[in-house]
Structure 1
Amino acid sequence: MSLAAARIAPDGTAGAGPVTLKASDHAPSPLDLPEDVQFQLGQFKHLLGELQKALQAAAAQAPSPADIAAIPEPLDRARLCMCIAKAVNSLHHVYLRAYGRDPFAPATAGGVAVGRQELDRIRQYDKKLARAVHDADLRASRPVLSLDVAAASRFIDAAIPDLSEQQRRDLKRAAQAAEAKRGGPDHRKGKKPRPQEALVQDLDQERIAALQQRQQEDGDEGQGQDLVAEGAEEQAEAKDAAGKARSSNGSRSRMTGPIYLQNYANRFSKYFTIKEIVSC
């Protein structure tokens, strides 16, 4: 007998009248979950929505294999490929865990057998990439060796005194071009001239000035040119002797100050003396 046929009164007695059942009376009641679980479920749904938006944006701008191959730097290509591999592996793990499966569990326990293997492989390549990036940064931090053209030109000019005027102009032009390319003159702290070098320069200038003065007084152009040429040869010989004196480390280390200058003056007086220059 149905409940509609049985007339039950509100006080429980029969014959009180028909009772109408609503559809909501048969609907199952919602699952009663703790509040913290409900909060976590709501947060999970929100994060899924954010993840879906991010994946759609990434899929719209995903690089093709041709785009990856067009990257000139090998390290940049390796970084991009590593990021893609990490993202795909993480999404696969999230997918499995969302369905209640452990990606690290063995296949017999309902897991994926290659989960741990793929993660170890990615970690291995990540270590190789990190080591390559570290080596590249270390190479970039090291000072790069470069040739100082101006210093090389001065060295050649001093080592070879019998250079022609054209060769000297070429060396000077190369030094100026190197300084202009470097962004200006070299601002490094210059070395102080050695006493013997200063003495050679002073004596050379006095000798040349005296020869020119003698040329003007004599009025003989041919004789003056010979004297100038003779002075230039003596100047070259004096520089050669000065270079040999500088190369002797033992004698230079034993003589310092006025004694060294006197010794050098004695060597230089072999070619000409200051009295000769003054007298002429």
Structure 2
Amino acid sequence: MNSLPEDVKSQLEEMQGRLSTLETALAPFLNKTPNQLEAQLDPLQRAQMYNTLSQAAASLFKLYLKTKGVDPEDHSFMKEEGRLKQYNKKVEKLAAEVELKKSNRTLEVDVAAMSRFIAAAVPDLSVQQKDELKKIGKEGNSKKKEQKRGQDQGAVEEKAAGGSSKKNKKSTGGSSVGHKDAALKFLHDALGEVKPSK
């Protein structure tokens, strides 16, 4: 290495440093079997992991080709890199769908919280109206618990059957809308009965 020019030496040292960093980053993957890695991850995370590892391997192979004086663009490997890009797009699309589903879950109406909010926001409610609000809140909580139990039971049945349980998901989706309508109707009625103070 003494006969090499200084700029080449510095580039080689930089490359060795980056390879050491890469080895450190890949150590968790290299020290475990694929089965051990898969056991810790859900399907989407597994797909992302395999995608990332494939991209790392592809980059290293391109680097290897360059060190051998072969242009990676002219190598048959480029077809495989195109496939990797397609898989990456699929995984990114799936990750975006999962994130969207998670954000949609937060759009559900919390009936109990809404009834507490209404009771606090409208202080001139009659005793009957307050009781009705409490009743709606309790019904909302019991319906949510019922839905959760149904979903948990559906998940258990799905695991046992090895299939999908779309019926359970569809049948539990619309009940919060009924509570929302009831709460909105109640709010409208309550506001109609409350006379503004002058």
| TM-score of the pair, normalised by structure 1 | 0.38
Say if 2:19 is the partner of 1:52.
Answer: yes
Q: Contact between 2:110 and 2:140, CA under 8 Å: does it hold in 1?
A: no
Give, in angstroms, the shift of residue 177 of structure 1: 9.4
Q: What stretches of structure 1 of length at least 5 have no aligned partner? A: 1-29, 32-37, 106-111, 153-167, 182-187, 199-280
- Aligned residue number for residue 42 of structure 1: 9
Residue 67 (structure 2) pairs with residue 69 (structure 1): no
For 2:139 and 2:90, how far apart are their aligned partners in 1? 46
Instruction: Answer whether contact 1:150 1:176 (CA < 8 A) is retained.
Output: no
Residue 138 of structure 2: aligned partner: 175
- CA deviation digits over 1:73-126, x for unaligned, max 9? 222111111110000010011111112111222xxxxxx3x2111110111111
1:132: which partner in 2?
94
Letter matched to residue 45 of structure 2: D
For residues 64 and 15 of structure 2, what CA distance do their matches in structure 1 show? 11
Structure 2: unaligned runs, 5 residues or longer: 116-130, 145-183
Deviations 1:32-62 (A, max 9, x none): xxxxxx4541232112211332244245322
Q: Distance in 2 between matches of 1:39 and 1:82?
A: 37
Deviations 1:238-259 (A, max 9, x none): xxxxxxxxxxxxxxxxxxxxxx
1:194 maps to amino acid: G
Paired-residue identity, %: 22
Question: Aligned match of 1:145 in 108, 128, 140?
Answer: 108
When normalised by structure 2's length, the TM-score is 0.51
Alignment check: 8 A CA contact 1:96 1:103 kept: yes
Look up the SS of the partner of 2:72 in the other structure. coil
Q: Does 1:89 align with 2:89?
A: no
| Alpha-carbon distance in structure 1 between the residues aligned to 2:45 and 2:39 | 11
1:129-278 mapped onto 2 (5 Å cutoff) = 129-142=91-104, 143-146=106-109, 148=111, 175=138, 178=141, 190-191=187-188, 192-195=190-193
Cα displacement string for residues 200-229 of structure 1 (whole angstroms, at most 9, x for unaligned residues): xxxxxxxxxxxxxxxxxxxxxxxxxxxxxx
Residue 149 of structure 1: how far off its partner (Å): 6.2
- Shift in alpha-carbon separation, 1:56–1:136, aligned structure 2, 3 A: closer
AA in 1 matched with 2:72:
P
Look up the equivalent residue of 1:102 and give its one-letter code: D
Secondary structure class of the residue paired with 1:61:
helix
Q: How far apart, in 2, do the equivalents of 1:144 and 1:67 lie?
A: 36
- Taking the aligned partners of 1:69 and 1:148, their CA distance within structure 2 comes to 39
Larger of the two Rg values belongs to structure: 1
- Contact 1:150–1:175 under 8 Å retained in 2: no
Matched residue, 2:80:
118
Q: What's the offset of the Cα at 1:146? A: 4.7
